[in-house]
Amino acid sequence: MSDALLRADLLRWYAKAKRDLPWRRNPSPYRVWISEIMLQQTTVAAVTPKYEAFLRRFPTLASLACSTEDEVLKHWAGLGYYSRARNLRRAALTVVADHDGDFPSEFEAALALPGIGRYTAGAILSIAFKKPHPLVDGNVIRVFSRLFGLKGRAKDPAFVKKMWPLAERLLPRTKPGDWNQALMELGATVCSPDSPSCGACPVARHCVAFRKDLQEELPQPEATREPIPVRWTCLWIEKNRKVLLWRRSAKERLLKNLWGLPESGKIGAIPGRLLARTAHAITHHALSVELREAAGPEGELPTEAKWVPREKIRDYLVSSLWLKLLERL
Ligand code: SF4
């Protein structure tokens, strides 16, 4: 089978079967960029409502550049990996300063922006500018591994490196954005990690894994990694309807630079009655968090601490860890 037939089969299917996702409507560079950053490490279902709300608050690149970091973090709440939100804002400032506020249409210039790697630059340029740049993400790796019968682990850098020449070879010069999205759509909806729907696959006649019955074996499973257990005791310190919050430092292992409830030991207060308890996962860490009542510290507050009116604390506590704890209060 030729590359041309493979392209034709996949593009025909994509034209009919693609999901109606908000970032596919009016795919301007700004809208595509925001969606691509949000979709890194996060599912379509989790991103969709956040994406629409984020664009209501920051409808243009200029509005994002004019915002404060805290405002952007607040609208990123629940998506995790908060460095993505900080990089978005830093990149918006760079675009305003260096590119007259227009997202750059040249690959090297896009790649130079904070938070944009080879995949994201390829996605934005191919989808929003219709420029012929390939991309490789987890879905594409899985699809290529099966389609071409290639053995390897999807997270092995050497295996990933092998995918780029393939992506370049297959990329059509017209509609490169549709092709890139079709590959990812196939991986997301048909060629899924477990039990791919080969019977409904538009490219089954090209697929080595299907022919050799290797779908379940390719790509090879990742080595399992035990999550690192972390225990925190955090404090609920309330006085005159104000709650004491704590800005975590840049040196913290988790939730760096974000506001949170103070951990006991960081502030001179003794943990008292248990108020709530939750489990939470953050990048290979399994957190077990207790929230305990405590009396306020005496004297001047450390610079990291701040009294915040109770009704305003959700403006600061952006991680879903805190939101889960607050629900249990
Ligand atoms: Fe994936 Fe099956 Fe299609 Fe091959 S035939 S690409 S394994 S869904």
Instruction: Give the tens place of pLDDT for each residue, 61-91.
Output: 999 999 999 999 999 998 989 999 999 999 9
DSSP run (H or E) holding 286: strand 285-293
Nearest atom, ligand 1, residue 190 CA: 8
pTM over 0.75: yes
Q: How far is CA 105 from the centre of its chain?
A: 23
Give ∠ CA 88-91-95 in degrees, rounded to 5: 135
- Residue 143 near ligand 1, beta carbon < 6 Å: yes
Residue 143 has pLDDT above 90, yes or no: yes
Ligand 1 centroid to 183 CA: how many Å?
A: 11
Q: State the burial class of residue 243 (Cβ atoms within 10 Å of its Cβ: 0-12, 13-18, 19+).
A: buried
Residues 89 and 48: their CA atoms lie apart, in Å, by 20
Average pLDDT over residues 167-191: 97
144 CA → ligand 1 middle, Å: 9
Q: How many residues does the chain have?
A: 329
Whole-angstrom Cα distance, residue 316 to residue 309? Answer: 11
Residues 6 or more apart in contact with residue 78 via CB below 8 angstroms: 46, 50, 318, 320, 323
Q: Is residue 148 scored above 70 in pLDDT?
A: yes
Ligand 1: centre distance to CA 153 (Å): 17
Provide CB contacts within 8 A for 108, sequence distance 6+: none
* Residues near 88 by beta carbon (within 8 Å), at least 6 away in sequence: 33, 34, 37, 64, 72, 115
pLDDT at 298 exceeding the cut of 80 = no
Answer whether 218 contacts ligand 1 (Cβ < 6 A).
no
Dump pLDDT digits (tens) for 299-324: 788 899 999 999 999 989 989 999 99
Q: At what angle do helices 176-189 and 118-128 cross, to 10 degrees?
A: 120
Which residue's entry shows tokens 């800005």? 247
Q: Ligand 1 centroid to 215 CA: how many Å?
A: 7
Provide the mean pLDDT of the chain.
95
Tokens of 103: 């997202």
Q: 189 and 139 in contact (C-beta within 8 Å)? A: no
Residue 185 has pLDDT above 70, yes or no: yes
Q: Which residues are catalytic?
A: 36
Give the pair of three-digit tokens for residue 50. 């956040």
Shortest-distance atom of ligand 1 to CA 143: 6
Q: Which atom of ligand 1 is nearest to the CA of 198?
A: 2
| Mean pLDDT of all residues in 18-32 | 96
